[in-house]
Amino acid sequence: MDNQVTHQDLGLISYQKAWDYQTVLNKKLIDRKRANGEDEGYQAYHYLLTCEHKPVYTLGKSGSMDNLLLDKSELSQSKFEFFKINRGGDITYHGPGQLVVYPIFDLEYFFRDIHKYVRFLEEVVIRTLAEYDIVATRQEGFTGVWILNDKGPSRKICAIGVHLSRWVTLHGLAFNINSNLSHFGNIIPCGIATEDKTVTSLEKELGKKVDMNEVKTKIKSHFASLFEYKYV
C-alpha cells in the first residue's frame, strides 16, 4: 500500500501554536496505531507541515542555556519568545523568511532508522539548493546542511532537530530563505562557537530575495521523491 501524505501550509504562525498542533497530530497517529494493532488493512496517516514562525529561540533537550546570549531582561525587551523543547540538538532561531518543515510521519511505514531519516531531511534541502545551482553538503560531526568554502567559514543554511515516539516523528528542519541573519547574533547557533562556522540564507547566497512559495514547491517535491509517497 503506497504511503499518502497530507500537506498543510500553516503560514506565519506562533511557535507555541505550531508545536501544539504538531503534538495533536503526533498523538493522533500514535493512538490510531495502538488501536489498530496488527490490522493488515490499517492505513497510516502522515502529514507534512510547512510554516514560518514569529521570532523565537528554541532550546533542544541536549542544549545549554549558556548558548542564549541574552539575559531574561534583554530577552523580554527584544520581544523574542523562548522555549525549551523536546527535540534533539541545541539552540536555534526561527523567524519570518525561514521555511520550517514539520514531517509527522509514522516511520514504520517508511523505514525504522532514525539516522537515515535525518540524512533524508538533509538530502531534501541539498537537492533543493542544487536547483538554485548551490552545492551544499553534510559536514561530519554536525547535523544539518552546509555550504563549504575553502577560503572562508562553512555556512549553515539549514538546522535539523527531531523527536520520535513509537516511530512517529515530531519537529523537523529550519531552512533559511530570506531570514534576518542578525537575529542569530543573540545565540550561539546550535551551540557551535567556532570562527570557521557561521550561518547563511538562500537570499544571501544568491544576492536576491527568493520566492518562498517556489521553495515550498521544490521542498514538497523532493520529500515525495525521497520518501516515495503521494500527496492527498
Coil, strand or helix at 99? strand
Which sequence positions are flagged as catalytic? Answer: 190
User: Which residues, 6+ apart, have CB-to-CB distance to 42 below 8 Å?
Assistant: 33, 36
CA distance 171 to 195: 28
Which residue carries 533542544 as its cell? 60
C-alpha dihedral, 160 to 165 to 169 to 173, nearest 10°: -10
**What DSSP assignment string belongs to 29-95?**
HHHHHHHHTT-TT----EEEEEEEESSEEEE-TT--GGGB-S-HHHHHHHT-EEEE-SSSS-EEEE-
CA distance 51 to 54: 10
